[in-house]
Amino acid sequence: MTEAKSLIRSKAPLRISFAGGGTDVAPYSDERGGMVLSSTIDMHAYCTIRPREDREMRIRSLDLAKDESWAANGSMLSYDGNLDLIKAVLNHFEVKQGFDLFLHCDAPPGSGLGGSSTVMVSLIGAFSEWLSVPMSQYDIAKLAFILERQELGFAGGKQDHYSATFGGFNLMEFRGEETIVTPLRIKGDVLNELHYHLLLCYTGRTRDSAGIIESQRSGVRTGQRQVIEALDNAKRLAAETKDALMRGDIRRIGELLHESWEQKKLFTSHITNPHIDRIYSTAKGCGAIGGKISGAGGGGYMFFICEYERKHEVADALAKLGVGVQNFSFDKYGLQTWRYRA
């Protein structure tokens, strides 16, 4: 059976960020150090490579509804806003063989679940598997960050790349160029109880995170006291939330989520809007202990820790606002790659 008939596949999980999101974004993370507590969930970005015997590179992105074809002639692909994530990976690996590439993600762009970074991780995983390039988890996450944030200049922090690569519950620390990922070993009954209380929902609106993140970065660069103190508090709350999680104190986690949301709204005025405020106040009024938006803000997914006997009331009230509840489970696996011979 020829190599051209084998498939190389990868999948990387999306994440929800419990506390500390925003502290992983430069210049704050470089100057003061960041800390984020997050967990991956069973929603993924997928990549499939089918090698070809010619030098045509055929790209299909289901989420962006795009089909492209390029030539693998050894020259660098230029960045023009069209599938640049893919081009950055192809340029890095200097791909000179043809292939068919299929990409799709379980969440829409702008969801706040780390989608674009997770797509980048899945791309790197698939191409490193196909081309037999050995890479550690830290190697993959760092390369994903460099390509997306530095080479392409897409706004954002570091947490998404590391979360998608490592998987599971992690406390991540960012100190300038150094990143430390500490996997958390949480008892099964605590995870089950946390999941039982959690409600993940889609606001019905996506958002462009770039402007929100740039506003936050500007606040740090110009030394705005409110922004810097809010980020300091977010970092502190990440450590406190980790401690509550290790103790299995679900109610305290809910209370800390509320505190994290209050601090997050101080990063920039673009974090929330009347639609999000209405969702949050409705959830709190129906039995949510606390919650927050997942990601930069402005839209996408939100999640709440609820009184378990009132979780259904929160879901019903949010449904009347056009907010959809997303069934999910925690996912302990990070990036996975494999080969399948059809």
**Is 84 marked active-site?**
no
Reported as a single tens digit per residue, the pLDDT across 143-170 is 999 999 999 999 889 999 999 999 999 9
Residue 37 has a pLDDT of: 97
Residues 180 and 228 reside in one and the same domain:
no
Q: What's 88's domain CATH number?
A: 3.30.230.10
Work out the average pLDDT over 123-127.
Answer: 98
Residues 124 and 221 reside in one and the same domain:
no
Residues 84 and 215 reside in one and the same domain:
no
- For a pLDDT cut of 70, what percent of the chain falls above it? 98
Residue range of the domain that includes 102 = 3-185+331-341
Q: What's 260's domain CATH number?
A: 3.30.70.890
CB 324 within 8 A of CB 204: yes
Residues in CB range of 29: below 8 A, 6 or more apart: 23, 157, 158, 174, 175, 176
More confident residue, 138 or 2: 138
Residue 4 has a pLDDT of: 47
Residue 30 has pLDDT above 90, yes or no: yes
Residues 38 and 141 reside in one and the same domain:
yes
Residue 197 has pLDDT above 60, yes or no: yes
Residues 276 and 226 reside in one and the same domain:
yes
Residue 208 has a pLDDT of: 66
Work out the average pLDDT over 214-243.
Answer: 94
Residue 3 has pLDDT above 60, yes or no: no
Residue 207 has a pLDDT of: 59
Residues 80 and 206 reside in one and the same domain:
no
Work out the average pLDDT over 99-126.
Answer: 93
CB 152 within 8 A of CB 85: yes
Residues 238 and 302 reside in one and the same domain:
yes
Residue 206 has a pLDDT of: 67
Reported as a single tens digit per residue, the pLDDT across 231-243 is 999 999 999 999 9
In whole angstroms, what separates CA 173 from the centre of its chain? 16
Residues 206 and 266 reside in one and the same domain:
yes
Cis peptide, bond prior to residue 134, ω within 30 of zero: no
3-state helix, strand, coil in the chain (%, to 5): 40, 25, 30
Work out the average pLDDT over 257-281.
Answer: 93
Residues 176 and 285 reside in one and the same domain:
no
Residue 1 has a pLDDT of: 37
Catalytic member of 160, 232, 243, 249: 160
The encoded tokens of residue 225 equal 């006291």
Residue 31 has pLDDT above 50, yes or no: yes
Residue 299 has a pLDDT of: 81
Instruction: Give 17-64 as a DSSP string.
Output: EEE-TTTTSTTHHHHH-EEEEEEEEEEEEEEEEEE-SSSEEEEEETTT
Residue 75 has a pLDDT of: 83
Residue 297 has a pLDDT of: 77
Q: For residue 71, list its beta bridge partners.
A: 56
Residue 72 has a pLDDT of: 85
Work out the average pLDDT over 124-152.
Answer: 97
CB 163 within 8 A of CB 144: no
Task: Find, among 282, 266, 173, the residue nearest to 226 by Cα.
Answer: 266
Residues 36 and 87 reside in one and the same domain:
yes
Work out how many domains the chain is built from and give that number: 2
